Chain A
């Protein structure tokens, strides 16, 4: 295990024995008196100078969060103060969320980071108060007069350190916003504070490096066009070895009906690549006229975790490429924050997409009127529709070696509202599916603990703590129903849940939904399949065993 994480037994001991605000047996006087402590495992390395220079970002330098002196640029207070003023003018949400909280405490124990750390400043209300306290000091007149009364404080370097720590212990998952009686959304506040911190060079390399890569090469992982093609072609070979079927994806092809965009993690990372194989099998199975772009080769958008301007800049490639290629509409792969961007921001930022058509499934004829303006359809919507119209030949027995549960990804759940489509697919491609406890799924789902660009190795302790509520819910179905497969529709989940499961629930593997689709698909002209896409033996399909037909 990583050197950035305590031993499981030590962490469990801490949870059992150490008094905490969460357990109610620990009291502190005031949150603003608690010092901020950066140590191994609870912070992400800052953006490298060359990355910042490439992006034209402020204050490139070598530094670490553990440094005493953060080398903030001259006049940084004014930069922050002006930055906050201008954002308050541009976003009603920010102003409202700073003004309307009554500190009722409904959100307090809803945050996965609070549940995993017991740190009072990880209660969403206090996280927002970190900014509110400064806002109240600077802005409304009367509360300024009544300083001690309303918990106002000055903007100091210590506050910046606190912001850096706690706005990088928020994954913008919006769970708190579900429970807030005013719908106050900490994600909105975190996004704004991260924008502000970037103005003075307080940042996270695990976010900014992918942003810079994506700008240059078209994807977060920095894969250049020829390598991108090579990677997918090697998956094509793997598919042929396993199934005997030669799928034929095309790249940058003009005149295709559909442009398919998925997170680059699916092209490059394990276990994302198996999900990619699932897509390729599916498209071949239905004979979809699609193409993949090496330029718009990223579904995800780490710009979202940087600034809204950067989000827009990285997202612009999707429509730009769709227009150039002359496709009719765009199909998007499994991803969490990608879909928050596509669903709630893309058309506003980079639309209108008049050059595209309202998406119609060429197989079923279903018109996706819910995507009539943005013209981009989620693969789960697309596949659920195919299954509903019985257009797929599926053998769910081929997933009998997997006892599954489903993890709702935060952004898809609370920033889009897609719950039934993936479940419909899952129920049709496998025989064993058990839901986790109801307070941990659907709109109440828990984050993997590594979302919003916190997936850095050096941040491992935070990730294992932040992912604890999710892991604990998985443990319950593992114990009760022998679940061994955690199915998800998010690329960050596919990268971050495997280490989380290894830490808390060894023996549980992480799957993309379309990997299971790929396993279950009965392809025309396939050879006898005995192994799943991971080359693991499928139960009941061993050589010499029963044939499926």
Chain B
């Protein structure tokens, strides 16, 4: 399947570029300094621009998708989070989407059985896989903060300990590494396994999965297989966070592959579907209160429309209205 293979090849090529570049062409400055700086600028500026680009567009109508009872009569209990009435309830609704994937938790699977009967089963795999993927990624990224501070912050230490509590290998095995790889495998597999998913998936859906998988794999290789010396890595990262343009010096090639793939991900981020990370906060079907009958929502561009007025209507039908004994304004 071309749409799976192409992104796979792209990621392989992307991984090869820094390997060859650093190993054979001595381009460590390019891959250790220039590209990472470029990437972070593109990520931050791109993300911000995309957000601004969304935010500057008006929300003309209050269109929450109500998934629970509205607030109406006092004796009817309303659903605070599925039909929010106050700002904090809507905020909680959005945050529950962000942190708990609340809507995915509802997921069902429809099956067409014999004799044309439809059945719906609970189907939480996507919810579980997605949650495992996003949360372990977040923890991994936070764990990496140890490279950006001279003194490792307390919460990083804590995460480190929590994540490595199994303590089975040396260096310590991180649970999140296994979880994120398992989750990615699942997320790729489900796109390939189901006829519906095969059909809707595009190359741009596989590419970030493969890219992140490659980043994780290279990271694991560095840590467990080549046992990369961590101090030069930390020195280089500290230089980067201090806006230093000094030459990185001697670090293992795999590090450059890892860093380059992360840079590619950062650059790809603002231009792709990965922007769902920002969009989820703005979705007007989720972040608005269901109170449009109680408080008027203002549309900044409210179109001016000419409608058929009552007097025009009466002019058209005056005689018929008189015959039907309907009251009229003008004789």
Interface residues of A, Cβ cutoff 8 Å to B? 11-12, 15-16, 20-28, 30-31, 88-93, 95-96, 99-106, 108-110, 115, 120, 123, 125-126, 129, 140, 142-143, 146, 148-151, 174, 177-185, 188, 215-216, 218, 224-226, 229-230, 251-254, 294-295, 308-309, 312-314, 316-317, 320-321, 324, 342-345, 347-349, 351-352, 366, 368-374, 376, 381, 384-385, 388, 413-421, 424, 437, 439-440, 443-444, 468-469, 472-473, 475
Q: Kindly identify which residue among A99, A108, A225 contacts B326, using a CB–CB cutoff of 8 Å.
A: A225
Q: Which residue of A lies closest to B297 (CB)?
A: A348
Closest CB-CB distance, A527 to chain B, in whole Å?
A: 28
Is the beta-carbon distance between B307 and A376 smaller than 8 angstroms? no
CA distance A188 to B296 in the complex (A): 20
CA distance A345 to B59 in the complex (A): 12
Contacts A226-B323, A252-B327 given; does A100 touch B276 at CB 8 Å: yes
- Enumerate B52-74 residues with CB–CB distance to A below 8 Å: 53-55, 57-63, 65-73
Contacts A108-B200, A177-B285 given; does A381 touch B73 at CB 8 Å: yes
Contacts A183-B103, A351-B296 given; does A150 touch B203 at CB 8 Å: yes
CA distance A150 to B273 in the complex (A): 10
Count contacts on B: residues with CB < 8 A to the other chain: 102
Chain A residues, CB < 8 A from B201: 103
Q: Which residue of B lies closest to A233 (CB)?
A: B324
**30 A/B residue pairs, CB under 8 Å, sorted by A:** A22-B196, A23-B111, A25-B195, A96-B54, A100-B275, A100-B283, A109-B109, A110-B108, A115-B118, A120-B196, A126-B200, A177-B285, A181-B97, A184-B285, A226-B317, A226-B321, A229-B325, A254-B327, A320-B309, A321-B310, A344-B63, A347-B296, A348-B297, A351-B296, A373-B293, A381-B72, A416-B70, A417-B70, A418-B70, A444-B106
Closest CB-CB distance, A442 to chain B, in whole Å?
A: 8
Q: Kindly identify which residue among B82, B284, B292, B301 contacts A90, using a CB–CB cutoff of 8 Å.
A: B301
CA distance A439 to B175 in the complex (A): 36
Is the beta-carbon distance between B101 and A384 smaller than 8 angstroms? no
Q: Which residue of A lies closest to B329 (CB)?
A: A324
Chain A residues, CB < 8 A from B196: 21-22, 24, 105, 108-109, 120, 123
Is the beta-carbon distance between A374 and B292 smaller than 8 angstroms? yes
Interface of B, secondary structure class, is loop
Chain A residues, CB < 8 A from B103: 106, 178-181, 183
Contacts A12-B116, A343-B292, A348-B292 aside, 12 further interface pairs with beta carbons under 8 A come to: A31-B199, A91-B60, A108-B200, A151-B202, A188-B63, A225-B326, A254-B327, A314-B307, A344-B292, A370-B71, A415-B63, A439-B108
Chain A residues, CB < 8 A from B62: 344, 348
Is the beta-carbon distance between B104 and A224 smaller than 8 angstroms? no
Q: Which of A109, A150, A347 has the most CB of B within 10 A?
A: A109
Closest CB-CB distance, A118 to chain B, in whole Å?
A: 8
- Enumerate B160-204 residues with CB–CB distance to A below 8 Å: 190, 194-204
Interface residues of B, Cβ cutoff 8 Å to A? 6, 50, 53-55, 57-63, 65-73, 75-76, 78-79, 82-83, 97, 101, 103-104, 106-112, 114-118, 120, 126, 130, 190, 194-205, 207, 271-273, 275-276, 279-280, 282-286, 290-299, 301-303, 305-310, 313-314, 316-317, 320-321, 323-327
Q: Which residue of A lies closest to B324 (CB)?
A: A226
Closest CB-CB distance, A304 to chain B, in whole Å?
A: 11
Is the beta-carbon distance between A183 and B285 smaller than 8 angstroms? yes
Is the beta-carbon distance between B112 and A23 smaller than 8 angstroms? yes
Q: Kindly identify which residue among B126, B207, B303 contacts A308, using a CB–CB cutoff of 8 Å.
A: B303
Closest CB-CB distance, A376 to chain B, in whole Å?
A: 7
Is the beta-carbon distance between A21 and B199 smaller than 8 angstroms? yes
Q: Which residue of B lies closest to A146 (CB)?
A: B204
Chain B residues, CB < 8 A from A366: 73
Is the beta-carbon distance between A16 and B114 smaller than 8 angstroms? yes
Interface of A, secondary structure class, is helix
Contacts A103-B200, A104-B126, A373-B293 given; does A348 touch B299 at CB 8 Å: yes
CA distance A36 to B53 in the complex (A): 35
CA distance A27 to B195 in the complex (A): 6
Chain A residues, CB < 8 A from B321: 225-226, 294
Chain B residues, CB < 8 A from A16: 114-116
Is the beta-carbon distance between A420 and B76 smaller than 8 angstroms? yes
Chain A residues, CB < 8 A from B295: 372-373
Q: Which residue of A lies closest to B203 (CB)?
A: A149
CA distance A102 to B111 in the complex (A): 23
CA distance A151 to B316 in the complex (A): 53
Contacts A148-B203, A150-B202, A225-B321 given; does A177 touch B118 at CB 8 Å: no
CA distance A312 to B302 in the complex (A): 10
Q: Which 9 A-B pairs have the closest CB atoms?
A: A417-B66, A100-B279, A417-B70, A183-B285, A226-B324, A439-B120, A316-B307, A183-B286, A92-B57
Q: Which of A20, A88, A104, A443 has the most CB of B within 10 A?
A: A104
Closest CB-CB distance, A249 to chain B, in whole Å?
A: 12
CA distance A103 to B295 in the complex (A): 35
Is the beta-carbon distance between B204 and A106 smaller than 8 angstroms? no
Is the beta-carbon distance between A126 and B199 smaller than 8 angstroms? yes
Chain B residues, CB < 8 A from A146: 204
CA distance A19 to B61 in the complex (A): 42
Q: Which residue of B lies closest to A376 (CB)?
A: B293
Chain A residues, CB < 8 A from B69: 417-420
Contacts A99-B275, A294-B326 given; does A417 touch B197 at CB 8 Å: no
